[in-house]
Structures are given as structure tokens and as C-alpha cells.
């Protein structure tokens, strides 16, 4: 028998590092950390050992603890793009967005011939809300001769967010030639522009559906795309039929707990009483944060773009920061004593520290601006916590007709959010819970949240813009009435709509599809809405 050549034998240290990675993959964090600690004592300056220890910290949810380890690994082995990428990832987790993007630029200068590495590096600015830098890296990756459907999709998305729809469409056509059943690409292609009789993809989408899809999620995306284009073409009966099929299929691919989501909203309402709000716990006394909250697809992006034209206001996009920082602080508090409900624990945290940490990340998301907007809609859950942590923050709440809201949410295929949106009963139940919580915030902190009705915003943009600017303490600027003229990127699901002038075309739009939305309407009526 001829012995196979398995390559050079691993050194004892490499074997130990391999053991540590195996323990990490098995979720045995304690054993992995003990091994890494012992290796650090024996090999304090070894980049591989430092990297292992950093990976273990990250896997355990301790990004702050991972930072010095990954930083030291980079110092021990400078100029290594994979190590630099890992450090950028840690910096991004710690909301040091500008630092992460700067480091990515340095790594890209080293890895300029490696298309796959450049693609990996592009994920950092993409996730930091910097689509221009992501596009640059992705185009450089393509320039090396490397290509991949995922790379082409990421480039198309970056171009879409930057408003370059023709270039995005070209990348999607190249992608679909390589991967004809890429559902996400089909959906993005249909959202780039309004379909017309002279220019649409209806026949193409129907042909792909007739051929069949191996993955239900991809078929669902194709059906969402078809429903969108049929709506554009005024084929209302077919549009709602396809939309209901798409939503049901998408819903079947998800694992989520609707009862748990509703219980979480109710627990916040129960824990955050008027007495809690009256507590004098100090917050972080910094001015500059503007939160735009509410249900998705209610005009939050339109308000963001209007305020962003004022001159002193930066746009940070939809940040997860506040919820993540709040959850981490509440979890730490809930461990003392163990078993304290998270909602109750959230009333006892260090609000000044929460506000300070949040503002540090917000400033990096849109540097150089006196005011910065965070338009994450689900921050409506945290209005009381925001007031405690940042007493000078402004909170703007978008309100829209329940049925128009429901339809706008239902017809949108979100990437990784809002799992309740694909079932009309779950959507109505969630909407009712959201309305109860917002009513609660108004009761326990009166005058602290400005309600802006979508219907009034689009019929009287100047009047509502003046209300918004006055509430935020900002001077009038005529440019706010032309949000479509903004040259800033938009990374929301409304990226194409916000580049159009303000219009009333979506008011009452649900009525065109009333028969197919009967379940939603009846369930909202059940809740008194």
C-alpha cells in the first residue's frame, strides 16, 4: 500500500490551536478559554494564539474583551488582511464604524489583487452604512477577474442604495445569467424602478416560476417581484393573488414566535410605568440624537430625507445600536439577582452609560453633524428608555392609516426583519400591540414624542416640515421640501421611493386590494382599529 502524503506534520502548538478551534465549534467556550489562557501564558506574542483567544471572546459575546486580543494579533503579524478584517469586524461590533472602515481601506491596499478578500472586506462598509466604499471594493474585486453571484448581488445592492439604478440593473442581469433562480436578485431587480407596459419583467418572472424553484425562499422572492410589477401595471386582482401566494410561501420558511413577540411588547408596557418614568435617574446630557420611530413603511425615510436637507443634520440610517446596548445592559442587570425579567431589569440600568455609549456610536455613523438621525422604526419599543438615557433626544413617531400600513408592510419582502409581516393575522396582532405601546408612551411621558401623520405629511409637506424643524430646534431651510434632491445614499427598503418628489399616490392604496386583504381588515377591526 502506498502511503498518502498528508503534508507537513503539525507542530504541538498548531495541534493545540486546532483543539481550541474544535472546542469553539462545539460551543465549549469555558474549555476553549482555559486552553487559550494556558497557550497565551506560554506564547504571549503568538498571533495565532491571540487570534484564537479573540475568536473565543467573540463567540461568547464579548467584543470588548476580544478587541485587545485581536489588536495584539495584528501587531504580532502586521499587514495580514484576514487579521485586519477580523479587527475591523470587532471594531464594527463596538460601533467604531469610521475606525473599521479606515482599517478596511488599508487592508484593501494590501489585498488589491485578491478578489475574494476584497469582497470579504466590502462587508464592513456595507454593514457600516457606507455603500460608496463597499461599491469601490466590490468593483476592485471584479477587476481582479474574480466573480461570484453573491458579489454581484452585493454590488447591485450598493449601487441601488446610491441611486445608480441602471448600473445596478446591469449587475443583476449578469448575476441572473449565472444563477437564474436567485430569488433575492429577482426581487431587487423589480424594485429598482416602476414597471411599465414597455418595460417590465412579468413574462420573465412567470417563465422562471413555470420552470420551478428548488428553494421555497427563492420562489417566494420571485412571487414578491411578480406581485410588485403587476401592481405597477395596474393588474390589481393578479397582483394581490400573487402577493398572498408569496407571503404564505415566505411565512412557511420562517421560524419565529409571534406570541413571544407580543408578550415582549406587553412586558415593556407593564414594566415602564408612570412611576418609573418619574424616577430621577440621570441620563447622558448630550444634544444631537433624533429618533424616527414607528411601523416600517409609514414615511420614516421620507422624514429622514427631509430633515437631512436642513443642513445641520446627518443621516445614520437604521441602527441596531440602541436596542443592542439596552439588551446587554438589561441582561447584566437581570443576572443580579438571577431570574429578574428583562423588562424590569431595563428600568434599573445605568442610563447615563447607555446614552454615552450610544452617542459615541451615533457620532461615528454620521461624523461632522450637529444632529444625527437614527431611523430604526422598531426603536418605538424603547421610547421610555431613550428619554431616560438621552433626555435631550428628539423622538418623532410616524403614524399612518392601519390598512395602508398593513398593506405596505405585507407587500415588502424584508431581508432579515419583521417576520410577522407575512401573515395577515400576525401582522394585525402586531400592529395592535404596537399601537397600545405607543399610546402608553404618550401617557407616561406626555409631550415627549411628536406624532406625524403620513397623510398630512404628503398633503401638506411644508406645514409638517415646519412642525418637525420646530420640534427639533432647527432653523427653516427651503431645501427640506425637496427630499428627492438629496444625494445621500439610502439603505432602506424605500430607497427608490424617496428619490421621487413627495406625492399622495399611496394614500388609500390598500382599497385597490380590499378583497385580498379581508383577513387583515377583519383582524384589525377585532382590535378596534
What would the pLDDT profile of 472-509 be if each residue is shown by its tens digit?
999 999 999 999 988 888 777 666 677 788 989 999 99
CA distance 399 to 294: 7
- Do 134 and 154 form a contact (C-beta atoms < 8 A)? yes
- Do 388 and 283 form a contact (C-beta atoms < 8 A)? yes
- Do 15 and 48 form a contact (C-beta atoms < 8 A)? no
The three three-digit cell numbers of residue 209, written as one number: 416560476
**Mean pLDDT, range 126-141, rounded to an integer:** 97
On the question of pLDDT at 2 being above 60, the answer is no
pLDDT for position 3 = 45
Closest CA to 94 of 64, 120, 124: 64
pLDDT for position 415 = 81
CA angle 450, 453, 458 (to 5 degrees): 125
Q: How many residues does the chain have?
A: 529
CA distance 494 to 377: 13
DSSP symbols for 408-427: HHHT---SS--GGGGSHHHH
What would the pLDDT profile of 315-374 be if each residue is shown by its tens digit?
999 999 999 999 999 999 998 878 889 999 999 999 999 999 999 999 999 999 999 999
pLDDT for position 417 = 87
What would the pLDDT profile of 214-242 be if each residue is shown by its tens digit?
999 999 999 999 999 999 999 999 999 99
On the question of pLDDT at 410 being above 90, the answer is yes
Q: Angle of helix 202-211 relative to helix 216-232, nearest 10 degrees?
A: 160
CA distance 413 to 249: 12
Q: Give the rounded distance of the alpha carbon of 205 from its chain centre.
A: 28
- Do 298 and 399 form a contact (C-beta atoms < 8 A)? yes
pLDDT for position 1 = 37
On the question of pLDDT at 252 being above 80, the answer is yes
DSSP symbols for 343-390: HHHTTSS-HHHHHHHHHHHHHHHSTT-SEEEE--GGGGGGHHHHHHH-
On the question of pLDDT at 5 being above 60, the answer is no
Dihedral pair phi/psi, residue 82, rounded to 5°? -60, -40
What would the pLDDT profile of 257-305 be if each residue is shown by its tens digit?
999 999 999 999 999 999 999 988 899 999 999 999 999 999 999 999 9
For 27, residues 6+ apart whose C-beta sits below 8 A from its C-beta are: none
**Mean pLDDT, range 16-20, rounded to an integer:** 92
Record: fold of 258-526: Rossmann fold (3.40.50)
Domain limits of the chain?
A: 258-526
- Do 224 and 243 form a contact (C-beta atoms < 8 A)? yes
**Mean pLDDT, range 395-408, rounded to an integer:** 98
CA distance 206 to 407: 23
The three three-digit cell numbers of residue 527, written as one number: 382590535
Amino acid at each position: 500500500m502506498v502511503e498518502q502524503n498528508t503534508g507537513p506534520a503539525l507542530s504541538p502548538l498548531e495541534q493545540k490551536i486546532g483543539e481550541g478551534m474544535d472546542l469553539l465549534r462545539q460551543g465549549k467556550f469555558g474549555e476553549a478559554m482555559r486552553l487559550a489562557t494556558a497557550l497565551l501564558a506560554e506564547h504571549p506574542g503568538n498571533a495565532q494564539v491571540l487570534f484564537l483567544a479573540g475568536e473565543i471572546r467573540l463567540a461568547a459575546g464579548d467584543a470588548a474583551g476580544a478587541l485587545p486580543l485581536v489588536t495584539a494579533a495584528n501587531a504580532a503579524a502586521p499587514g495580514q488582511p484576514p487579521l485586519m478584517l477580523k479587527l475591523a469586524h470587532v471594531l464594527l461590533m463596538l460601533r467604531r464604524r469610521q475606525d473599521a472602515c479606515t482599517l478596511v481601506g488599508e487592508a484593501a491596499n494590501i489585498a488589491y489583487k485578491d478578489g475574494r478578500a476584497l469582497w470579504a472586506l466590502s462587508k464592513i462598509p456595507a454593514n457600516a452604512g457606507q455603500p460608496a466604499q463597499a461599491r469601490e471594493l466590490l468593483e476592485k474585486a471584479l477587476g481582479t477577474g474574480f466573480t461570484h453571484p453573491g458579489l454581484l448581488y452585493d454590488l447591485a445592492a450598493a449601487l441601488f442604495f446610491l441611486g445608480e439604478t441602471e448600473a445596478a440593473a446591469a449587475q443583476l442581469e449578469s448575476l441572473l445569467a449565472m444563477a437564474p433562480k436567485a430569488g433575492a436578485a429577482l426581487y431587487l431587480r423589480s424594485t429598482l424602478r416602476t414597471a411599465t407596459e414597455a418595460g417590465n419583467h412579468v413574462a420573465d418572472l412567470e417563465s422562471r416560476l413555470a420552470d420551478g424553484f428548488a428553494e421555497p425562499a427563492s420562489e417566494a422572492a420571485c412571487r414578491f417581484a411578480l406581485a410588485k410589477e403587476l401592481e405597477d401595471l395596474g393588474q390589481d386582482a393578479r397582483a394581490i393573488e400573487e402577493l398572498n401566494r408569496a407571503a404564505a410561501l415566505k411565512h412557511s420558511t420562517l421560524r419565529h414566535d409571534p406570541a413571544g413577540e407580543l408578550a415582549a411588547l406587553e412586558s415593556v408596557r407593564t414594566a415602564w410605568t408612570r412611576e418609573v418614568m418619574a424616577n430621577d435617574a440621570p441620563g447622558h446630557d448630550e444634544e444631537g440624537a433624533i429618533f424616527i420611530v414607528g411601523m416600517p413603511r409609514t414615511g420614516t425615510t421620507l422624514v429622514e430625507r427631509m430633515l437631512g436637507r436642513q443642513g445641520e443634520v446627518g443621516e445614520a440610517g437604521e441602527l441596531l445600536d440602541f436596542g443592542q446596548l439596552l439588551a446587554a445592559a438589561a441582561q447584566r442587570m437581570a443576572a443580579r439577582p438571577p431570574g429578574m425579567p428583562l423588562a424590569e431589569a431595563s428600568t434599573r440600568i445605568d442610563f447615563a452609560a447607555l446614552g454615552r455609549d450610544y452617542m459615541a456610536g451615533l457620532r461615528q455613523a454620521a461624523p461632522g453633524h450637529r444632529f444625527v438621525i437614527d431611523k430604526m422604526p422598531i426603536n418605538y419599543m424603547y421610547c421610555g428608555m431613550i428619554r431616560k438615557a438621552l433626555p435631550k433626544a428628539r423622538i418623532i413617531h410616524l403614524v399612518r392609516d392601519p390598512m395602508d400600513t398593513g398593506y405596505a408592510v405585507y407587500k415588502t419582502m424584508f431581508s432579515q426583519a419583521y417576520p410577522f409581516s407575512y401573515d395577515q393575522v400576525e401582522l394585525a396582532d402586531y400592529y395592535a400591540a404596537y399601537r397600545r405601546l405607543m399610546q402608553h408612551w404618550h401617557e407616561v411621558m406626555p409631550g415627549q414624542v411628536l406624532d406625524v401623520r403620513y397623510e398630512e405629511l404628503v398633503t401638506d409637506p411644508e406645514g409638517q416640515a415646519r412642525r418637525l424643524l420646530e420640534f427639533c430646534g432647527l432653523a427653516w431651510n427651503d431645501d427640506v421640501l425637496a427630499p428627492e434632491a438629496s444625494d445621500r445614499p439610502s439603505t432602506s427598503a424605500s430607497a427608490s421611493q424617496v428619490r421621487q418628489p413627495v406625492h399622495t399616490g399611496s394614500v388609500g392604496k390598500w382599497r385597490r386590494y380590499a378583497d385580498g386583504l379581508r383577513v387583515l381588515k377583519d383582524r384589525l377591526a377585532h382590535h378596534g382599529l
